[in-house]
Copies of this chain bind each other. A is one copy, B any other.
Amino acid sequence: MSFTGCQQIGAEESCAGDQSFQAVNPADGSHLPGEFKCATAEEIDRAADLAASAAAAVRAVSLEQRAAFLDACADEIMALGQDLGDRYMAETGLPQGRFEGERGRTCGQLKMFARYVKDGSWLDAKIDHADPDRKPFAKPDVRSMRQPIGPVVVFGASNFPLAFATSGGDAASAMASGCPIIVKAHPSHPGTAELIGRAILAAAAKTGMPNGVFSQLQDSGIESGKQLAMHPAVKAIGFTGSLRGGRALFDLAASRPDPIPVFAEMGSTNPMFVLPEAMAERAEAIGKGLGGSVLLGVGQFCTCPGIVLGLPGAGWTDLVEATSASVQGGGAATMLNAGIKQNFVAGLDRLTAAGASLASGEAQPDGCAASGAVFITTGSDMLDDPALEEEVFGPSTLFVECTSEEQMLDVARGLSGHLSATIHGTDADLAANSELIDILTEKAGRLVFNDYPTGVEVNHAIVHGGPYPATTDSRTTSVGSASIERFLRPVCWQDFPDSALPDALKDSNPLGLWRVVDGVRTRQR
């Protein structure tokens, strides 16, 4: 397994840079093979210009061909075999099972988009027929459908080198929408990124996609990302990562002469509420499951349950103890990189400084390894100090003991935006807490009942999003088929002859799409 360390500017490998970096194995701090060049300003311009010049050709590709490309991406990723797994594990400290699971999710996601592209409902084709006899003015013929927004920059996330990076949801949905993409690879796993980039480029070549449909740039720092975000050819940004990084990109994009949308998924604390009957009936079981959820992926999930709320009593004590036991039983594990480990330790210190007590947890091991930590605080402290709501990225959770249901509602009302909110309860609990549920629909993109927030399904109904600071755009999702909508804009054609209309809008409905015709949903040809 060898690496060129070059930028992938469409089909061309470009190695113009004089600065380079190596990947680090977080398990032992060793440097991994491969010298990865940092993209130069000229290479970044070239990648953006190539994407812009390819946009019309990529848009013109048939839905069938676009689907074949996405399917081929999945096939080529599978064809990388264990070489990919070995590099993935070396660059991330994550185990073989996680590699296989994440690869399955990633390829499944690409294949889901292949099917969804062909379905074509997402084109949102609509026809309002003319009425020349309408008074006082003749009514024109108006037909609309969604068009790709243009070149999209995708920022790879550190925590899912496959499912939220070069081949991840942002990339797959943007390519499905018909946009050329430029991936800024995450510097934690440049080798994984290069391998995946090769697979996507091979798929593009095999399925005859226009050159420029995919490019990928490497950089150990943030300059190339900033340059990309400001580039006039770039029309949208997809990002998964920290609040700081996402907000910086959002601010840059908003400062452009022509602002562009930024879909930054920036994680959250994913509050969990354990309601009285459930607490009384099964606190220990809930705590055991919660501990597993906190430890999943060494807590490096944006859906890690970081706040748990409930009322005091025997159940509460059992819940905290069972969670603590489960978390401690997991032992230490390697985090993705040294920076994430440092931030995790700083986050634990922040909780302590804000007055939270350590309910269980040991001194953190050296290096990139981390052990789980369970904190406890009170509802009134939570109401007083917003810092307690901030995400601590890693295997920790904070129990918030409320004095009353009213205080729990107050804490809920004070929450900022989250990706998810979880309720553990009986049906009677649910009925008795409708106000809480109602508040949480304003605070989160996903409400989970009697389960844990880690693990996000890839389907049509899923919402992986939520109000700021969970994301920079609550009107969308970054997982599931609906994520394609982020990279589309509507265009309408008024009074065009049928022959000059896109197939999706022709009277004969040659693509067999679901359309809205004069206000009626129909698939009629």
A211 — which chain B residues lie within 8 A by C-beta?
none
Mark A420-454 against chain B: 1 for CB-CB distance below 8 A, else 0: 00000001001100100111011011111111000
- State in angstroms the CA–CA spacing of A259 and B246 once bound together: 12
The segment from A68-76, A133-141, A214-222 found at the interface with B is A133-141
The segment from A22-30, A320-328, A467-475 found at the interface with B is A467-475
The segment from A165-173, A200-208, A397-405, A485-493 found at the interface with B is A485-493
| B128 & A491 in contact (Cβ 8 Å cutoff) | no
A488 — which chain B residues lie within 8 A by C-beta?
475
A417 — which chain B residues lie within 8 A by C-beta?
258
Of B254, B451, B492, which is within 8 A of A254 by CB?
Answer: B254
| A476 & B490 in contact (Cβ 8 Å cutoff) | yes
A448 → chain B closest CB, angstroms? 5
Of B119, B149, B457, B518, which is within 8 A of A128 by CB?
Answer: B457
| B521 & A449 in contact (Cβ 8 Å cutoff) | no
Mark A334-357 against chain B: 1 for CB-CB distance below 8 A, else 0: 000000000000000000000000
A156 within 8 A of B: no
Of B463, B476, B494, which is within 8 A of A451 by CB?
Answer: B494
A103 within 8 A of B: no
A465 — which chain B residues lie within 8 A by C-beta?
489-490
Within 8 A of B (CB), among A461-508: 461-463, 465, 467-469, 472-477, 482, 485-486, 488-497, 499-500
| B437 & A494 in contact (Cβ 8 Å cutoff) | no
A301 within 8 A of B: no
| A475 & B261 in contact (Cβ 8 Å cutoff) | yes
| A494 & B449 in contact (Cβ 8 Å cutoff) | yes
Q: Which residue of B lies closest to A422 (CB)?
A: B494
A239 within 8 A of B: no
A55 within 8 A of B: yes
| B441 & A491 in contact (Cβ 8 Å cutoff) | yes
| A467 & B144 in contact (Cβ 8 Å cutoff) | no
| A441 & B147 in contact (Cβ 8 Å cutoff) | yes
| B500 & A127 in contact (Cβ 8 Å cutoff) | no
| B427 & A457 in contact (Cβ 8 Å cutoff) | no
A407 within 8 A of B: no
Q: Which residue of B lies closest to A460 (CB)?
A: B126
- State in angstroms the CA–CA spacing of A518 and B516 once bound together: 21
Q: Taking the full assembly, how many copies of this chain does it contain? A: 2
A142 within 8 A of B: yes
A494 → chain B closest CB, angstroms? 5
A447 — which chain B residues lie within 8 A by C-beta?
491-494, 496
| A461 & B261 in contact (Cβ 8 Å cutoff) | no
A500 — which chain B residues lie within 8 A by C-beta?
427, 430-431, 434, 437, 449
- State in angstroms the CA–CA spacing of A444 and B140 once bound together: 18
A143 within 8 A of B: yes
A362 within 8 A of B: no
A81 within 8 A of B: no
A494 — which chain B residues lie within 8 A by C-beta?
446-449, 451, 457
A497 — which chain B residues lie within 8 A by C-beta?
427, 430, 449
Most buried by B among A139, A463, A495: A463
25 pairs across A/B with beta carbons < 8 Å? A119-B519, A127-B461, A137-B455, A144-B461, A144-B463, A147-B441, A149-B475, A150-B442, A251-B254, A254-B254, A258-B468, A258-B469, A259-B472, A261-B473, A261-B475, A427-B497, A427-B499, A430-B499, A444-B491, A446-B493, A449-B497, A457-B494, A459-B519, A460-B516, A475-B489
Chain A residues with CB under 8 Å of chain B are 55-56, 60, 101, 119, 121, 126-128, 136-137, 139-140, 142-144, 147, 149-150, 250-251, 254, 258-259, 261, 416-417, 427, 430-431, 434, 437-439, 441-442, 444-451, 455, 457, 459-463, 465, 467-469, 472-477, 482, 485-486, 488-497, 499-500, 514, 516, 518-519, 521
Other than the given A127-B461, A445-B491, 9 more pairs (CB < 8 A) read A142-B462, A259-B468, A445-B489, A447-B494, A449-B495, A449-B500, A450-B495, A457-B494, A459-B519
